[in-house]
Amino acid sequence: MILADIAKELLPPILIRPMQAVSRRFAKTPVDIYIANGRRPWTPGYLEYKQQYIETALADPQLMARFAEGTMLPDAYGVGLDERCIEYPWLLSQFASPPLRLLDAGSTLNHEFVLRDPRLRDVTIHILTLAPEETCLWKLPASYIFSDLREMPTREAYYDAVACISTLEHVGFDNSFYARDRPPEAERRFDFRVVMRELRRVLAPGGTLFLTVPFGEYRNGGWYQQFNSELLQDAIDSFGDCQVASKRFYKYERSGWQIAEEGAVRDCQFVAWNDPRPGVPKPPRDDDSPTSDLAAAARAVACVRLVKE
């Protein structure tokens, strides 16, 4: 019998309840542990801290206005966090008039705190991904389609908007981490062109594609590729006739995330050791690791809005 059980046996309830309240007050949450350990990415409490941080950002009208207008972010925004702290606010800030039908091409929106955002309240959302995931939010206004983005089982011109958030860089690479029953396929690094044509096909005329990719110096990481200026333009050209409504870049430094010009992010490096595939050895950490600038994944992200003509 542990001490807590002994205390319950020996002490009256009038004393037990105050003791439990004090215990809960001083118990450390995952976020507390993460902060106490120096906010190092991917350590215990990181995911909980990141979600809490993004939820706060989405609920801040002034901050969301900065994302909508493409103006400077507050000092120290997103220190130690990956690019989701940019992508979610950027995407949802663009919904001045919510679409009727939205395709999440890649299942990046498959989180309750995202799908419950009031800007998506009346939107019909389809989440398309390779295979079923542990998180299944079918009780929310979301339906799931399990398929390959290169050959979507959707009729033409169906969606008013498509969100392809940090997904295009994985097409044609080792996706066994995301679909465990699929063996790694032969690398096809230009298959993103096929996906861009498919995304255009399922968009209604006048519909909008919201696209984000890790950006900077080109890198082939085995399970992704980091886009450079040439590859990003290739993707836009592959989409076909469209209006480039906006193309923004955000850069990560030790001082946090900030909007930047394209020329200032062309040499940005992806965090090399951040490889989630089981059995893949991690390279040794060096000066390019999160111990120096607390970078978690991409050090720059391109956020592009394309309107189908």
DSSP calls for 228-278: -HHHHHHHHHHH-SEEEEEEEEEEEETTEEEEE-GGGSTT----TT---ST
Residue 278 confidence (pLDDT) = 65
What is the C-alpha to C-alpha distance for residues 307 and 297, in angstroms, rounded to an integer?
A: 28
pLDDT of residue 8: 46
- Distance between CA atoms of residues 280 and 37, nearest Å: 26
Alpha-carbon distance of 228 to 268, in angstroms, equals: 9
Q: Which residues contact 39 (CB under 8 A, 6 or more apart)?
A: 49, 79, 80, 294
Closest CA to 248 of 239, 259, 258: 259
What pTM was estimated for this model as a whole? 0.87
pLDDT at site 210 = 98
Write the DSSP symbol of residue 303.
E
> Nearest to residue 127, comparing CAs of 161, 158, 104?
104
User: In this predicted model, what pLDDT tens digit does every residue of 202-244 receive, in sequence order?
Assistant: 999 999 999 999 999 999 999 999 999 999 999 999 999 999 9
CA quadruple 152, 154, 158, 161: dihedral, nearest 10: -30
Question: What's the pLDDT score for residue 132?
Answer: 86
Distance (Å) of CA 269 to CA 87, 215, 216, 294, 295: 18, 8, 6, 13, 10
Q: Which residue has the tokens 């590729």?
A: 225
How confident is the model at residue 133, as a pLDDT?
85
Q: What is the pLDDT of residue 285?
A: 54
Q: Divide the 309 residues of the chain into consecutive groups of 10 and give the mean pLDDT of each group.
A: 45 54 62 90 94 98 98 97 98 90 97 94 94 83 91 96 97 80 81 98 97 97 95 98 96 97 97 70 53 89 97
d(CA 143, CA 126) in angstroms, rounded, equals 5
* Backbone phi, psi, residue 235, to 5°: -65, -45
pLDDT at 137: 84
CA distances from 82 to 116, 130, 197 (A): 22, 23, 28
**Distances in Å between the alpha carbon of 245 and those of 93, 113, 290?**
14, 27, 34
* Top-level class of domain 30-274+301-308: alpha beta
Per-residue confidence (pLDDT) for residue 178, from 0 to 100? 72
Which residue pairs, CB below 8 angstroms and at least 24 apart, start in 230-235? 231/192, 232/302, 232/304, 234/190, 234/192, 234/193, 235/168, 235/192, 235/193, 235/196, 235/211
The rounded radius of gyration (Å) of the Cα atoms in the chain is: 22
pLDDT score for 37: 86
Position 7 scores a pLDDT of 43
Which pLDDT belongs to residue 284? Answer: 56
pLDDT of 212 reads 98
pLDDT score, position 139: 78
Q: Which residues pair with 253 in a beta bridge?
A: 256
